[in-house]
Amino acid sequence: MTKSQSKAPYTFRAFWAILLLAINFLVAAYYFHIIQ
């Protein structure tokens, strides 16, 4: 994780953000399905 290896940090951050968002939606949908 050096500065010379920062080719596409925005893409990496966006990937993790989308991944966490997808997991959050998955967990929310699972919980709502369980509750109802």
Torsion angle of C-alpha atoms 24, 29, 35, 36, degrees rounded to 10: 160
Distance, CA of 9 to chain centre: 15
- What's the CA gap between 7 and 24, in Å, rounded? 28
Which pTM value belongs to this model?
Answer: 0.55
Across residues 12-33, what is the average pLDDT?
Answer: 93
Angle at 16 between CA 12 and CA 19, to 5 degrees: 140
pLDDT at 6 over 90: no
